[in-house]
């Protein structure tokens, strides 16, 4: 009996030791240096103090030097890794006075911007093709080692993200420049929770659900917001209640638009007897609803645009802080 009891106690101790793993000391996966003290931008490079009287100079690209040499721009801190240098810059932005609004409707294959006067489409069908090609290449891997496969797949994923981000950058840059010229505030819709519409069991096919779940709609909003804040352009975010029905409501009479399979992405109004593109309808309705909010909320629309974002450092500056502005462009590879 004693031998059986001792063996049971031993087994219990083994189970307890297996379930409760000892905690480890925290560590960083990649060496990172973040600092906001002692550095200087001098002679086309970033000088970092490494010892008493010694400085390490990292060369900066022409684009980076052009950005930080703009009036009102200051470098507040830097982040240095083995292969990348990121600068955190600030800029004192003067708020633009806008006379009207323009709605932005985000879709899988395009961005539609417009109001009652004019609407314009920005084609993004190339992003769908890039995502489809990346999925097909990753699915064709026949490697037995899961770690090697994961590493190669992550490289293709980073490549897809970079290419998609560049296409979105081109479109959002044109939209912001056009809005600045016409003095129009940009109205954004609230489409959070849209992923729940394309889950398994909702009646869609696997390919359709795959395309919709690979849709990077939040990246377009992120780029739009920081570019607008960089030039002081107001951004109006509509709530979910204000966004509801923006693409199915007739902009003339307010009746619900009807869809027809023969009309593809066009909707018709039985009362007005007109046929309009659903993306154009959404942009016009968003512009009108944002105009009402714009008239009620002058001045500040977004608290972040008036210096709400701040960086954790000694002596936070009073100007507007835009951390990581255009981070992929403000980088410079370093020699390891």
Q: Are 172 and 268 part of one and the same domain?
A: yes
Q: Are 241 and 266 part of one and the same domain?
A: yes
Give the rounded distance of the alpha carbon of 106 from its chain centre: 13
Q: Which residues form the domain of 34?
A: 25-95+316-336
Is 7 among the domain residues? no
Is 288 among the domain residues? yes
Q: Are 71 and 112 part of one and the same domain?
A: no
* Nearest by Cα to 217 from 305, 130, 127: 127
* Nearest by Cα to 281 from 294, 295, 299, 263: 263
Compute the distance between CA of residue 205 and CA of residue 179 in angstroms, rounded to an integer.
38
Q: Are 133 and 282 part of one and the same domain?
A: yes
Q: Are 174 and 252 part of one and the same domain?
A: yes
Q: Are 41 and 169 part of one and the same domain?
A: no
Q: Which CATH number do you get for residue 293?
A: 3.30.420
Sign of CA dihedral 32, 159, 330, 229: negative
**The pLDDT value given to residue 322:** 41
Is 43 among the domain residues? yes
Q: Please indicate, yes or no, whether the overall pTM of this predicted structure exceeds 0.85.
A: no
Q: Are 90 and 104 part of one and the same domain?
A: no
Q: What is the pLDDT along the chain (336 residues), one digit of tens a residue?
A: 445 455 555 555 555 455 555 666 666 667 888 888 889 998 889 999 888 888 889 999 999 999 898 888 889 999 988 888 899 988 888 888 888 899 999 998 999 999 988 899 999 999 999 999 998 998 888 877 778 888 888 999 999 999 999 999 999 999 999 999 999 999 999 888 777 777 777 777 777 788 888 888 889 999 999 999 989 999 999 988 888 888 888 888 888 888 877 777 888 888 888 888 888 999 999 999 998 887 776 654 444 444 433 333 334 444 444 444 443 343 444 444
Q: Are 275 and 331 part of one and the same domain?
A: no
**The pLDDT value given to residue 323:** 41
Is 1 among the domain residues? no
Q: Are 276 and 247 part of one and the same domain?
A: yes
Q: Are 324 and 270 part of one and the same domain?
A: no
Is 19 among the domain residues? no
The total domain count for the chain is: 2
Q: Are 209 and 61 part of one and the same domain?
A: no
Q: Are 56 and 82 part of one and the same domain?
A: yes
Is 8 among the domain residues? no
Is 294 among the domain residues? yes
């Amino acid at each position: 009996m004693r031998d059986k009891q001792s063996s049971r106690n031993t087994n219990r101790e083994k189970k307890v030791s297996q379930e409760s793993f000892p905690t480890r000391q925290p560590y960083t996966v990649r060496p990172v240096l973040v600092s906001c003290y002692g550095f200087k931008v001098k002679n086309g490079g970033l000088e970092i103090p490494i010892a008493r009287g010694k400085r390490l100079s990292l060369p900066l690209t022409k684009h980076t030097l052009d950005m930080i040499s703009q009036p009102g721009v200051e470098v507040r801190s830097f982040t240095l890794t083995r292969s990348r240098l990121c600068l955190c810059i600030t800029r004192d932005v003067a708020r633009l006075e806008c006379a009207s609004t323009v709605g932005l409707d985000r879709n899988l294959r395009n961005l539609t911007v417009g109001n009652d006067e004019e609407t314009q489409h920005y084609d993004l069908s190339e992003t769908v093709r890039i995502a489809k090609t990346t999925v097909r290449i990753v699915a064709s891997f026949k490697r037995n080692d899961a770690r090697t496969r994961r590493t190669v797949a992550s490289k293709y994923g980073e490549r897809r993200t970079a290419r998609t981000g560049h296409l979105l950058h081109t479109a959002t840059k044109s939209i912001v420049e056009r809005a600045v010229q016409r003095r129009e505030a940009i109205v954004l819709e609230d489409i959070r929770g849209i992923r729940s519409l394309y889950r398994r069991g909702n009646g869609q096919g696997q390919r359709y659900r795959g395309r919709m779940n690979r849709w990077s709609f939040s990246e377009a909003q992120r780029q739009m917001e920081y570019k607008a804040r960089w030039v002081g352009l107001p951004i109006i975010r509509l709530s979910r209640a204000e966004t509801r029905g923006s693409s199915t409501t007739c902009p003339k009479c307010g009746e619900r638009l009807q869809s027809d399979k023969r009309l593809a992405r066009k909707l018709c109004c039985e009362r007005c007897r007109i046929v309009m593109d659903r993306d154009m309808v959404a942009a016009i309705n968003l512009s009108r609803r944002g105009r009402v909010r714009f008239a009620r909320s002058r001045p500040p629309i977004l608290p972040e645009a008036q210096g709400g974002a701040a960086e954790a450092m000694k002596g936070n500056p009073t100007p507007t802080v835009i951390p990581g502005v255009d981070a992929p462009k403000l980088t410079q590879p370093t020699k390891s």
